Amino acid sequence: MTAEIIEGAPVAERICGEVAAEVARLKAEHGLQPGLAVVLVGDDPASQAYVKSKGERSRAAGMHSVTHLLPGDTTQAALEALVADLAADPAIHGILVQLPLPGHLDEMPVIELIGPDKDVDGLHVVNAGRLVAGLPALVACTPTGCLMLIKAALGDLTGKHAVVVGRSLLVGKPVAQLLLAADCTVTMAHSKTVDLPSVCRSADILVAAVGRPRMIRGDWIKPGACVIDVGINRVPFDNPEQAALGKTKIVGDVNYKEALQVAGSITPVPKGVGPMTVAVLLHNTVLAAKRQAGIPG
């Protein structure tokens, strides 16, 4: 058996098309242009490429888009001042500060300054709390994208056992809440879970978001399970000559080659969850703009 590949790009393209149509409608009917601001501190190449993609996709959808690239030695005060200005700017409806921040910066005061209404990454304590309470909220982009891909692969999720490996605020915890809301039975696991392989093997749906390259082996996966790999890890090429040149490639938290022979469906890395994150970010920005303007829907 070879697993069905769950490609993120087609679903993401559909979402971006819907976003573009809604942006055009808001401009025509309400004179409202949703605006997104992205802030990046430091010069990490992968983050720079990701931020560039967010700007390009938001502009392609007809949105107002601004990007702030700050040096790696930016102070806490300078970052907070910028975010406070963006939070007060009526042309900006969504703010995303690219995480993780450099070690000398504290992300929590920054997220607090964004405020729940413009928190399109779903990290503010109000949005996190509303998600747990089952109330309308801006939900983190990657978990929302994961749920969309799972539903695209499986349809109705009622009664399925989902195991989430990883307990981060950005992915693990919110994706567990979304799966609970979809009537799954959810187990939260992590690197310190006793007999993690057995826990993973019990899953109809396995979400890997632990940040360790190829940690989830093929024999950890229940035959026919749906596997969502959120990991983005840079590792040396397997080819010794390429590795000697310092070349790296991106792999997930799942050993893809092994999992492909066991799972029923699986997301590749890259081109799986990644495209969904940007698409949901645009969707969240439009949703935030409508809420701030008092427009239903």
The catalytic site residues sit at: 54, 98, 121
CA 25 remoteness from chain centre: 26
What is the distance between the alpha carbons of residues 1 and 9, in angstroms, rounded to a whole number?
24
36's CB contacts (< 8 A; 6+ apart) are: 54, 58, 63, 64, 65, 66, 92, 93, 94, 95, 96, 120, 281, 282, 285
- H-helix or E-strand spanning residue 60: helix 45-60
Show the tokens assigned to 134.
């089952």
Is residue 293 within 8 Å of 30, Cβ to Cβ? yes
Is residue 79 within 8 Å of 108, Cβ to Cβ? no
Is residue 13 within 8 Å of 237, Cβ to Cβ? no
Label residue 185 exposed, middle or buried (CB < 10 Å: 0-12, 13-18, 19+). middle
What is the distance between the alpha carbons of residues 115 and 278, in angstroms, rounded to a whole number?
20
What is the distance between the alpha carbons of residues 88 and 85, in angstroms, rounded to a whole number?
5
At 114, give phi and psi (nearest 5°).
Answer: -60, -40
